[in-house]
Structure 1
């Protein structure tokens, strides 16, 4: 087995040095966390499914002109991506009230919001990823005003497209999280591109007829049927791995 230099390990993925300069190998784990890492567990086959779902959605977004870090899928659990400077902001787009916004404003879960609401959270596990304003983002230098405008524009485009895509397979896109990064081109131009992943790990997806939850809320709330929900999303997208999400050992690493 090839030994690779590990760059970073997060809650759901491991990043390794890529085969060419400016690339990274992103490995999807089965580990699951919730409530800022207070709850931990394993969702069997999740890494395989999230790899395939992210590949599919990033390719679709690329077709409509949304720039992403995705290059190609390497195997069942790994994909090759462009190396980017991650902007330390999580962008959450909400279409239907659920989760923290329901608690903060006493809005019944499932209430259709008047319009899509975009929120920013500072990526810092030690602080619990606090909700921040545009003023915080620009004042503390996490992103410029121009970069934030581009992030907002891209986020709304992604929301419009994915809402329609999921509706076409009988799913409501309740809310979801995006992350963005900077990439510098040879001419010196710095571009904002979509990074990380889009999967049932960071999207709330409900069945349009029954409102059944088809995402990580099933893990958060001990509802059971977590693996089956992820598999159903992949099946509806038409990308369920043949024979189901088989296991694959993680790569040997060197620090």
Structure 2
């Protein structure tokens, strides 16, 4: 009986110990579950906090990136505007330089053309002066030749006329044609003017003068042989100092500009 009670007591204690252990295990399991839930909550909270921090960081990074992009776009726009302005200034400088070059080129060409024209005028003037000088030399040479021929004949004719006691007198005359510019031309003629009491009767050219002097020599020889009476009343055709008097005589040349007669029809 006592052994049976002892066994029951031992069983009761074992059951009690088992219940206590079960309770401890259950408590431990609850604590472990609570710890797990707490750890899970903490992990979720930490994850949420990290996600929030990451989101904030991403938003900040996005804002910074957008700001950087805006600044870069603005900088590029500013650089583009500066480049466009520089290109415009460069283009204007090129256009100005081109215009200045063309203006200098035009002035240089005009100056060169004026210089060429001036040199051409000088060359033409020099050629004209040279030609004029040559013509003048030819005229002077021809004049000298005619004077060498005419003047001695005029002097001889006056001596013979004086010996023959005739009232006539010969003078040497020069005729020079003028160019339209008023300068001496190429036609210069030397003649012998026959005058009577200072009145011009006619003029002889060198050939006529030479022929008349030859006749005067014959008359002088005849007067010496036969006397002056033999030659006083000579027929006109035998008198070397007679020529038909010129009714018209050239005394000068003039240029006259005439207007068309149709301009006067309205009057």
Instruction: Classify the TM-score, shorter chain.
Output: under 0.3
Bigger proportion of residues as helix: 2
When you count strand as a share of all residues, which structure comes out higher? 1
TM superposition score normalised by structure 1: 0.18
Structure showing greater Rg = 2
